[in-house]
Amino acid sequence: MKFLGAPLVMMLGHTDCGAVAAAIKVVQEHAELPGHLLDLVKSIEPAVIAAHAKHPSDLVAEAIEENVRLNTKRLVENAPILTDAFAAKKLNVVGGIYVLATGNVGLI
């Protein structure tokens, strides 16, 4: 990005994400996960909590979208190597969901 001059970063989540489903189980059922899975799930928990607060009909789908939103925001706010490019409007970041069944990407 900084060195290649890419004008756009696309942060993608995908449908039927097992990591998000696992994060939901940890949040709702206090499930315990083996190995390093807990570290991964802990990074997704804020998205699960934000999605749950919206009372969606499909918690997994909403949590996937929230995870993309939160990680897009993190990238913009906490990527020191990219800060100048964002400030100069030479780099933008967008979020999307990759639909496994169709191969399509929907922007969020």
Stated pTM of the model = 0.89
Beta bridge partners of 15: none
In the 3-class helix/strand/coil scheme, how is the chain assigned residue by residue? Answer: CCCCCCCEEEEEEECCCHHHHHHHHHHHHCCCCCCCHHHHHHHHHHHHHHHHHCCCCCHHHHHHHHHHHHHHHHHHHHCCCCHHHHHCCCCEEEEEEECCCCCCEEEC
What are the structural domain ranges in the chain?
Answer: 8-107
CATH of 8-107, one of 3.40.1050.10, 3.40.47.10, 3.40.50.12280, 3.30.70.20: 3.40.1050.10
Amino acid code (one letter) for 19: A
| pLDDT for position 79 | 79
List per-residue pLDDT tens for the chain, 108 residues long. Answer: 566 778 999 999 999 999 999 999 999 998 888 888 888 899 999 999 999 999 999 999 999 999 999 999 998 888 788 888 888 888 999 999 999 999 999 999
